[in-house]
Amino acid sequence: MASAHVVPNGTNWDLKGDGALISTHRVQEEALSTGRQWLRDHGGGELFLHGEDGAVRAKDTVAPGNDPRGHG
């Protein structure tokens, strides 16, 4: 299962997938949307949103990943 991380980078947001930089966005929601699409295109997985301190602030499972809450 793939993973994607949206991380702050100055005033921008970087999208990293499986350790590699995929894209950079000016708006956090654009990075999250692109991350969801990237995961769908790569068989589903986990999308992580990181805060300024590097800690994970939120997580989402993107289909066909396994989300026990029934979302994705």
Instruction: Give me the domain span that covers residue 36.
Output: 2-62
**Residue at 67 is within a domain:** no
Percent of the chain with pLDDT over 70: 89
**Residue at 68 is within a domain:** no
Whether the predicted pLDDT of 65 surpasses 50: no
Domain count, the chain: 1
How many Å apart are CA 45 and CA 36, to the nearest integer? Answer: 9
pTM, entire model: 0.85
**Residue at 69 is within a domain:** no
**Residue at 72 is within a domain:** no
pLDDT score, position 44: 93
* CA proximity to 6, closest of 47, 43, 39, 45: 47
* pLDDT bucket at 64, cuts 50 / 70 / 90: confident
Ramachandran quadrant class, 58 (left: phi over 0; alpha: psi -120 to 50; beta: rest): beta
| Mean of the per-residue pLDDT values of the chain | 90
The more confidently predicted of residues 53 and 19 is 53
